[in-house]
Amino acid sequence: MNLKIELFYSKTCPYCAPVKKMLYEIVKGLKETVDVEEIDAWSEKGEPLAEKYAVQMVPTIVVNGVKCAEGPINRRQLESAIKSVIDR
């Protein structure tokens, strides 16, 4: 299975960098082919995509078009959210 993960972040968000680091660590351990796209949610390019997925806070993780995590989360929650999309 190929995964497309979109990470919505903000440059001023104190939670985004730790979640981004966890995301890349988790992705390394997956058997699937993964494409991660980092999107500044409040940028000109990012705003339309943020609207599409109803992003209300950052960080937000979208996997294969499914918003699966929003806001500050821990590693276990992030792994579970990604796995829930893989297992569909």
CB 7 within 8 A of CB 70: no
- Please compute Rg for the chain using Cα positions: 12
pLDDT, residue 62, reads: 97
Residue pLDDT, tens place only, 18-37: 999 999 999 999 988 999 99
Q: With bands split at pLDDT 50, 70 and 90, how would you rate the model's confidence at 40?
A: very high
Longest dimension (CA), the chain: 34
Is residue 1 pLDDT above 90, yes or no? no
Which tokens sit at 29?
A: 């351990």
Q: Which domains does the chain have, with CATH numbers?
A: 2-86 (3.40.30.10)
Within the chain, where are the H helices?
A: 16-28, 46-52, 75-86
pTM of the model: 0.93
Distance CA 39, CA 83 (A): 21
CB 71 within 8 A of CB 41: no
Range 66-78 average pLDDT: 95
